[in-house]
Amino acid sequence: MNAHATTKVESLLPWANKAFRDNPYPWYDVVRSKAPVYKDPLVENTFVISRYDDIVKYGKHPSLTMKAPDWVPKSPWSLFKDSIIVRDPPEHTDLRRRSNKWFTPKLANQWAEATAKAVNSAIDGLGPQGMIEAFRNLALIPAHHAMCSALGLPTEGYDTASAWMHDAMTGLGSAVTAEEEQRCQAAFDYLSDRVRYYLAMRRASPEPGMTASWIEEVANGEMTEQQLFEGLLLFWATGTPNAAYLITGGLEIFARHPDVFELWKTSPDKHQAIMNEITRLHTPEISFTRFTTEELEIRGVKIPPKMLVRFMIASANRDPEVFKDPHKVDVTRSAEAGNHLSFGVGAHSCPGMIISLAEANAVFNTIAKRVKRIEMAGEPVYAHNDRSAAYARLPLRLVV
Ligand code: HEM
């Protein structure tokens, strides 16, 4: 989707640089103050917006579109042709309704019972030292079980899908190399094949859930086969790793700040504030993009039509104009931290928000009931790129 970056130009946002990918926040601090509406010299036709207020105001501007103009090269993500991520209202609204009804707060809590069960069985299986790889066993797999309850699908095989999904997300970044693009394509080849396998399975043996229900909607002429395929790909494959990164971020905070874990255990009225702070600091989706359809002026900078605008929500979440001491874990900032932008803004904001938060609550509550203390048992292995803040492993020790 994005032009490959060249390397010789000076840039405030060196997308491909490893130090930048590992910890982009010092660069965000500079770009926010020096060039809040930044014409990216490394990437064709691209402007980057990094201040909180601008993202809230312009991220949902009605003149912006999800539809890529002609200059945008085809990418593996171009397989999405008729789903919520490429449609604007009103078609978007109609498609969103079809998934939203499966993720109401009541249903999300019901799906998240599968998360609690998976966490309980991980704790049952602890060795005498309580060592656990928390990303996979307390976040990814438990979150996936909730999603499979909603979809009415079997739970096996998600480790592989999530690893591929990580490569697929890299393909949405700003400095995608040819090799990264190839891996993104391989990821979608694999994930698409699994989705077709599950569709065939639920056609042959329907079970309650969103998949079988959508198959029926296709049979009734209410949805197309393409919408069914893309919709299932989005919900089965793409979202859960983000939920897992968020949950893992919370567990790392609990391990590094025992007082915050203690507060979660003793004060249910503080859960919302703690969850907000975790979600603000661990912004799994670093940015979102739109295209201009007409000139758009932000802070005196005129962005011409057909430009790509990248909204840096991870930067907004650490904007000192909104969050005092933005890099600090501070669970007393409840009211303001509730306004983080981690789930996006406007019509395309995340439809997985409710189930992700239900899953995170289920993980934290289950652990809080059974675990006295959470300790770091080694350094985390992060797998960030310039689009996702990701974990590969989080070694913890649970003291039961
Ligand atoms: C079960 C887990 C999840 C699923 C199934 C999911 C799915 C999706 C989908 C399908 C969209 C596109 C919505 C649209 O265009 O209308 C989306 C957008 C988004 N999601 Fe999620 N997501 C999940 C979890 C998360 C989490 C945990 C975060 C971050 C905390 C997140 C952040 C976002 C953001 C920022 C957007 C907006 C992108 C944009 O405006 O272009 N998602 N999500």
Q: Which of 285, 345, 359 to mutate to test the pocket of ligand 1 (most atoms within 8 A of CB)?
A: 285
- Centroid of ligand 1 to alpha carbon of 128 (angstroms): 38
In CATH, what number is assigned to the domain containing residue 109? 1.10.630.10
Average pLDDT, the chain: 95
Question: How far, in Å, CA of 49 to CA of 287, rounded?
Answer: 10
Q: Is 278 in the pocket of ligand 1 (CB under 6 A)?
A: no
Could you report the per-residue pLDDT of 293-334, keeping only the tens digit for each? 999 999 999 999 999 999 999 999 999 999 999 999 999 986
- Quick one: pLDDT at residue 4? 46
pLDDT band at 5 (very low <50, low <70, confident <90, very high): very low
Asked whether residue 64 is domain-assigned, the answer is: yes
Residue 3 maps to a domain: no
Span 205-239, pLDDT tens digits = 999 999 999 999 999 999 999 999 999 999 999 98
Residue 350 domain flag: yes
**Reported confidence tier of residue 3, pLDDT bands at 50, 70, 90:** very low
For residue 280, is it within any domain?
yes
Read off the tokens for 13: 């946002």
Instruction: With CA atoms as reference, report the closest residue to 240 among 101, 106, 115, 117.
Output: 115
> 345 in ligand 1 pocket by Cβ < 6 Å?
no
Q: Is the minimum distance from the CB of 115 to ligand 1 under 6 angstroms? A: no
Task: Enumerate the H helices of 171-312 as residue ranges.
Answer: 178-204, 210-219, 225-232, 240-256, 258-266, 271-281
Query: Burial of 22 by CB count in 10 Å (0-12 exposed, 13-18 middle, 19+ buried)?
Result: exposed
Is 188 domain-assigned? yes
Assigned token pair, 280: 């603000």
Strands (E), the chain: 37-39, 46-49, 64-65, 131-133, 287-292, 296-298, 301-303, 308-312, 373-376, 381-382, 391-393, 395-399
Q: Where does the pLDDT of residue 136 fall: very low under 50, low under 70, confident under 90, or very high at 90 and above? A: very high
47 CA distance to ligand 1 middle (Å): 22
pLDDT (tens digit per residue) in 73-130: 999 999 999 999 999 999 999 999 999 999 999 999 999 999 999 999 999 999 999 9
Residue 377 in contact with ligand 1 by CB distance below 6 A: no
For the stretch 327-360, pLDDT in tens is 999 999 867 677 999 999 999 999 999 999 999 9
Residue 11 within a domain: no
Range of the domain at 201: 18-399
Residue 10 counted as domain residue: no
Asked if residue 5 belongs to a domain, the reply is no
Burial tier of 162 (Cβ tally within 10 Å: 0-12, 13-18, 19+): buried
Which tens digits make up the pLDDT trace of 27-82? 999 999 999 999 999 899 999 999 999 999 999 999 999 999 999 999 999 999 99
Query: What's the pLDDT score for residue 10?
Result: 76
Overall domain count for the chain: 1
pLDDT band at residue 175 under the 50/70/90 scheme: confident
Does the pLDDT value for residue 1 go beyond 50? no
pLDDT-derived band at 7 (thresholds 50, 70, 90) equals very low
